[in-house]
Amino acid sequence: MDFSTDAQASVIAILPEILMAALAVVVLAFDLLWRRAQRHDIGYVAGFGLLGIAAIVFLVGIPPQSGELSDQLVLGGMVRHDDMAQIFRVMVLLAGGIGALITMGIPRLRARGDFYAILIVSIIGASLASAAADLIMVFLALETLSITLYMLAGYLRDDDASAEAGLKYFLFGAFASAMTLYGLSLVYGLTGKTNIYELGRLVATNGLNEPPVIIALGLVMVGFAFKISAVPFHFWTPDVYEGAPTSITAVLSTASKAAGIGLLLRFLLAVFPPAELLGAAEAVADYSGLWVQLVVVLSVVSMTLGNLLALVQTNIKRLLAYSTIAHAGYVLMGVAAISTDKSGDGAAAVAFYMFMYVLSNMLAFAVVILFTRATGSEQIRDLAGFSRRSPWLGLAMTLALLSLAGIPPAAGFVGKFLLFRAAVDAGLVWLALVAVANVIVGLYYYLIIVKVMYMEDSPSEEPVPVDLPFKWALAISAAGVLLFGTILVTPLLDWATDAAHALYVLL
């Protein structure tokens, strides 16, 4: 297989990572050079830096238009620069940027330059994960993302919950990483290749010994399922989400998950492709049926268990943790559809869904930070009277929750609709009906939060203060949620569809 050696294309392909690395250095430098009072604003540098890079990626980082694999695989096949990578990069950059802005609402973190620098590095990992086309790069990206997040989750060392979150995440994560690494090494050992497109062809055509391939597939899936917190690899999620600084919880639930999903899409299709994609004549082994079944099982148990456990939560961060588990289940429904429907509906639905999910969750967590700061509590019942205190914040939270519940005009409605459509297209009508039942359960607990905000009276009538970085974070995410659900559906969906088509180019 040929790789592009065009130097300019190579630089553009990893431009976001180069810029982010520079940004991390800049943030660290400011941390040293600025006086204490100035350091208060260091989050703006990180936040708007990341958002700016997102804009640059969107405008400048257009992948080679030929759509040929050999043009898009750069740097010795380490990275594939296609629309799929781009849409997921923009997603994680938005998540990181908004995450940095909302970190400024946490007093103990606001002036910590090193915190922002580590955050940027973890976004580098997330960004690379969606472009990785080589086993080495897959693992490097995952570890860059994970190790930095371990640090960030446990950053508040003197806070027991945060320290516990960091350690717990680290222990679970190290275990999952080891499984993935073992799986990857098995794949390498069987084929002698590390580029996922090359070894995908070998896996499909070479008549490899089946049991080790299946074991490798299973082991790799463990690592991915851990990253996206699919049941039964979700045990870390509620505790870590509750204990970690809330802005990191937000990043964990969005950037980290988007990176995992992006990687999952690319990895499964490239390494274990459905036979028809490679031309039926030369293909002899088709493992796609197997991973579709695995993904379907993960999807059903994740959404069902996530939703049912969310019903009984009283802490808002834990509730959102269980809701992200359920959302992993919904998204996996789209992943299950990518093998049988070649039109790209499934992958496009997944990309669209993740995009709106990132914005919705960011919106929700931004409000949660403000709420915790004002009341000192994370209990849902303390949200009482929130809409009287701050009508706009109440409305923003409602919008986020409606989006997560899949009610128009929020973007979540279109996302869910596309996922259902993909599932029906792939012949998984029963899975769509299971998801429908789950959507109802989900709506129930989201509405409970809305009810508490609007119905019950609070002891205080004082408005919740919203400072400038939050205004930005809220405005960006709320506008996204609203516009991508109504008039801007088409541009985003077209982009997602282009991305999906790129995914199916395997030769």
Partner 1 sequence: MVITFSGVLTGILLTPVIGALVILLLKKEAKEQMRVIAAVTTGIALLLALFVFFGYSVDDANAVNGDGGTYFAFEDHVKWIESVGISWHLGVDGISAPMVLLTALAGFTGVLISWGIEDRTREFMAFFLLLVAGVFGVFMAVDLFVLFFFYELAIFPMYFLIVIWGWAQTRQYAAMKLTLYILVGSVVALIGIIALYFKAGNATGVYSFDFVDLHAAAKAGVFDTPFSPAWSAVTTAKLWFPLVFLGFGVLAGVWPFHNWSPDGHVAAPTAVSMIHAGVLMKLGAFAALRVGVQLMPEGARVHLPWIVFLTLINVVYGALIAMRQRDFKYVIGFSSVSHMGLVSMGFATMNVTGMTGAGLQMFSHGIMTALFFACVGMVYDRAHTRDIPSLGGFAQKLPWVAVAFIIGGFVSMGMPGLSGFVAEFPIFVGLWDGPAFDPDPNWLAGTFNYYGLIAVIAALGIIVTAAYVLRIVGQVFFGEFNAERFPHISAITVYDKIALIILVFWLVLLGVYPRLMAPMIESGVRPIVSMLGG
- Catalog residues that contact partner 1 under the rule CB under 8 A: 387-388, 391, 395, 402, 407-409, 413-414, 417-418, 420-421, 424-425, 429, 432-433, 436, 439-440, 443-444, 447, 450-451, 454-455, 489-490, 493-494, 497
Tell me the C-alpha distance between 56 and 18, whole Å: 12
Which among 336, 334, 297, 305 is positioned nearest to 321, based on CA atoms?
Answer: 305
Q: In angstroms, what is the minimal distance from the CB of 201 to partner 1?
A: 30
Q: Which residues sit opposite 134 in a β-bridge?
A: 195
The alpha carbon of 133 is separated from its chain's Cα centroid by a whole number of angstroms, namely 18
User: For the chain, how many residues are written?
Assistant: 507
In degrees rounded to 5, what are phi and psi of residue 108?
-75, -15
Nearer to partner 1, 204 or 431 (CB): 431
Q: What is the DSSP letter of 6?
A: -
Q: In angstroms, what is the minimal distance from the CB of 445 to partner 1?
A: 11
* Non-local CB neighbours of 253 within 8 Å, separated by 6+ positions: 241, 320, 321, 324, 361, 365
Nearer to partner 1, 116 or 352 (CB): 352
DSSP 361-422: HHHHHHHHHHHHHHHS--BGGGGTTHHHH-HHHHHHHHHHHHHHHT-TTSHHHHHHHHHHHH
* SS3 (DSSP) at 487: coil
Nearer to partner 1, 212 or 408 (CB): 408
Q: In angstroms, what is the minimal distance from the CB of 486 to partner 1?
A: 9
Half-sphere exposure of 287 (CA within 13 A, CB side): 29
Q: How far is CA 503 from CA 72, 450, 492, in A?
A: 12, 39, 17
CB 298 within 8 A of CB 219: no
Nearer to partner 1, 373 or 388 (CB): 388
The residue with tokens 């990518």 is: 338
Q: In angstroms, what is the minimal distance from the CB of 408 to partner 1?
A: 5
Q: In angstroms, what is the minimal distance from the CB of 341 to partner 1?
A: 10
Nearer to partner 1, 58 or 454 (CB): 454
Tell me the C-alpha distance between 449 and 164, whole Å: 27
Q: In angstroms, what is the minimal distance from the CB of 456 to partner 1?
A: 10
Q: In angstroms, what is the minimal distance from the CB of 397 to partner 1?
A: 13
Nearer to partner 1, 133 or 418 (CB): 418
In degrees rounded to 5, what are phi and psi of residue 364?
-60, -45
Q: In angstroms, what is the minimal distance from the CB of 424 to partner 1?
A: 5
Structure tokens at 283: 């293909």
CB 109 within 8 A of CB 245: yes
Q: In angstroms, what is the minimal distance from the CB of 357 to partner 1?
A: 18
Q: What is the DSSP letter of 312?
A: T
Q: How far is CA 252 from CA 17, 39, 79, 180, in A?
A: 19, 25, 23, 19
Angle at 450 between CA 447 and CA 453, to 5 degrees: 155
Tell me the C-alpha distance between 299 and 87, whole Å: 23
Q: In angstroms, what is the minimal distance from the CB of 441 to partner 1?
A: 9
Half-sphere exposure of 381 (CA within 13 A, CB side): 3
Q: In angstroms, what is the minimal distance from the CB of 93 to partner 1?
A: 25
CB 336 within 8 A of CB 431: yes
- How would you label 109-121 residue by residue, b for 16+ Cβ within 10 Å and e otherwise? bbbbbebbbbbbb
Nearer to partner 1, 17 or 498 (CB): 498
Write the Ramachandran bin of 279: left for phi over 0, alpha for psi from -120 to 50, otherwise beta.
Answer: left
Nearer to partner 1, 89 or 421 (CB): 421
Structure tokens at 318: 């834990």
Q: In angstroms, what is the minimal distance from the CB of 396 to partner 1?
A: 12
Nearer to partner 1, 129 or 422 (CB): 422
Nearer to partner 1, 98 or 439 (CB): 439
Q: In angstroms, what is the minimal distance from the CB of 390 to partner 1?
A: 12
Nearer to partner 1, 11 or 437 (CB): 437
Nearer to partner 1, 142 or 402 (CB): 402
Nearer to partner 1, 33 or 433 (CB): 433
